Amino acid sequence: MSAIGTEQGGVHNEAVARRMQEKLEDNARLRREGGLLRDYQAARWDEPIAMELGRPGERGVIPPQATDVAAEVPEAAELLPRELRRSAPPALPEISQPQLVRHFTRLSEMCLGVDVTVDIGEGTCTMKYSPKVNELLARSPKMSELHPDQPEETLQGILEICYRMSRILCEISGLDEFSFQPPGGSAAVYGFAAIARAYHHERGDDVRDEVVTTIFSHPCDGACPATAGYKVVTVMPDENGYADLEALKAVLSERTAAIMITNPEDTGIFNPRIREYTDAAHAAGALCFCDQANLNGILGLTRAREAGFDACQFNLHKTFGSPHGCKGPATGALGVSSKLAPYLPAPHLVALADERAPGGLRYHLDYDCPQAIGKLRAFLGNLAVVLRAYAWTMSLGARGLREVAEVAVINNNYLEAQLREIRGIGYPYAPGVRRLDQVRYSFGELKEDTGFGTTDMRTGFCDFGVQTWFMSHHPWIVPEPFTPEPCETYSKEDIDYWAAAMKTTSDDAYESPQHFAAAPHNQSCHRIRTWERLDDPREWAVTWRAYRRKHGAARATDEE
């Protein structure tokens, strides 16, 4: 290695030679895994941000001149009030179309995601493959050019799809009515908290100001009712990981408005005694809400109504095949029993008998809803997500939906059998109890043995061209956690590859700690210094103008 560096002259070439040697060692390690793992090297581009590209006068598209618009639409110049008009044009990138295409393509080459690699690691998110044919439907002008203020009679197609999808979800949940207005799961959880408050208020029961949740439910099941003004009581787990039933009964009182819990919880453990929990809450006069954002392991197998719940929510951008969207677009479908239906956000979608309408039904948006909690989203919600979910659901049919859950559970238990054989991985709570769609594992043992924890492991894991994992919601009750979810769209080969990458990463931590500590070796960037800057508001720059003001015209780098 040093001879190569000396012959080519310089420290830089020595570093290149060192990298070549490391790559040879990596390839040898891949071969030791029986050929399962691929040789992988991410693209690396020293890519500026878009505002730093191009030059004055360069164009990728020629917009119509203002005078041309005014000639075609004389009143266009007066549409915007004078006090809201810019005094100068906005500072936008001046860049050619080919250069812009290269820019975003290069950025995409430095990213991992479900369309590039195996994304099993994003537990609680159900990062399944989303059929691309459904994207064609969502992007069709028939969908994309709809305007929410169109007359109702011109929206009959999408309203029929929403109505049909709501009926499907009613069958899946056992509940009576659904709203697609919440723009995500947390919004649906908040919506139920508001419904619970309105329900109790109308009954003259305003003393109920507490909501009970569990530590392994999704954090929004506590955060959202807290935002709605409730005091939140959190029940801790028993030795098996279930929310302690006696502890739940002890905190229920005449002040309890609702219990809001997840089942299966984020650990992947399904509580088979859940009906005892809802019965206890109902005996105290409380409502019961089940957060089923991730329905993937129980779809078609168990229903919220039979478990005693008054309401639930489904994330259509998880279980129902619409892309997760990285915080949007999303839809948290909020379902309720008949006694809570009047409180759903307005408008309510209803089907009216009409002999003149196709199929004998006309779909109507009813705004006359005096008990409704108001609105959770502008207009009708993210209806393109509902369209994708409807297409996905109809393509599978009732038997196919059940098969989604069956395959997801099989995949999860197949992965678990392989991970149990890997050094350093623990399996907290409920020994011998099968998890459903995911498992919250622990690298606590590995941390004690090597000093490396879950953040170190996920950094080295990416060197095999695999998307990293979700660790856990906070607080970390499970030490050094990670939560994979191999849902139904991953093949046996995908799971084998993921498990082999995990084994090799664990072996590196034990057997080659110096090499492991320097990971990642094959990624587009090395280690990023972020946390100290994220915690310092003086460093924050969320716009180009703020970036230039705080950091100057020269590019700042976070890389070490």
- Count other Cβ atoms within 10 Å, centred on residue 92: 10
Strands 441-442 and 481-482: antiparallel
Interior/surface letters 18-37, b for 16+ CB within 10 angstroms, e for the rest: eeeeeeeebeebbeebeebb
- What is the SS3 assignment for 435? coil
DSSP 439-482: --EE-HHHHHHHS--HHHHHHHHGGGS-------PSS-SSSSEE
Instruction: Kindly report the pTM of this predicted structure.
Output: 0.87
Whether the per-residue pLDDT at 37 is higher than 90: the answer is no
Tell me which amino acid residue 461 is. Answer: F
The mean pLDDT of 7-32, rounded to a whole number, is 59
Closest CA to 505 of 419, 435, 428, 427: 419
Question: What per-residue confidence (pLDDT) applies to 554?
Answer: 46
- pLDDT grade, residue 36 (50/70/90)? confident
Q: How many residues does the chain have?
A: 560
Of the candidates 140, 285, 312, 301, the residue with the CA atom closest to the CA atom of residue 218: 312
Mean pLDDT of the chain: 88
| Better-predicted residue by pLDDT, 8 or 96 | 96
Give the dihedral sign, CA 260/261/266/267.
positive
pLDDT at 23 over 90: no
Least confident of 182-186, 228-232, 255-259: 182-186
CA-to-CA distance for 102 and 24, rounded, in angstroms?
Answer: 31
Q: Among candidates 317, 294, 348, which has minimal Cα distance to 177?
A: 348
- Check if the beta carbon of residue 191 is closer than 8 Å to that of residue 376: yes
Question: Average of pLDDT values for 485-497?
Answer: 95
Looking at per-residue pLDDT, the higher value among 530 and 433 belongs to: 433
496 pLDDT band, cuts 50/70/90, is very high
More confident residue, 423 or 111: 423
Q: How confident is the model at residue 30 (pLDDT cuts 50, 70, 90)?
A: low
pLDDT tens profile 277-287? 999 999 999 99
β-pairing, 332-336 with 287-292?
A: unpaired
Q: Which residues of 404-441 are buried (b: 16+ CB within 10 A; e: fewer)?
A: bbebbbebbeebbeebeebebbbebbbeeeebbbbbbb
Band of residue 207 on the pLDDT scale cut at 50, 70, 90: very high
**Cross-strand bridge partners of residue 363:** 351
Phi, psi of 502 (to 5 degrees): -65, -40
Query: Cα 455 to the chain's mean position, in Å?
Result: 20
For the ranges 5-19, 105-119, 355-369, 447-461, which has the lowest average pLDDT? 5-19
- Per-residue pLDDT band at 114 (split at 50, 70, 90): confident
Give the ranges where 203-273 is alpha helix by DSSP (H).
Answer: 220-227, 245-251
Picking from 481, 417, 503, the residue whose alpha carbon sits closest to that of residue 241 is: 481
Mean pLDDT to the nearest integer, 50-79 = 74
- Alpha-carbon gap, residue 195 to 209, rounded angstroms: 13
Q: Which pLDDT band holds residue 547 (cuts at 50, 70, 90)?
A: confident
Bigger pLDDT: 331 or 23? 331
- In angstroms, the CA 69 to CA 134 distance is 35
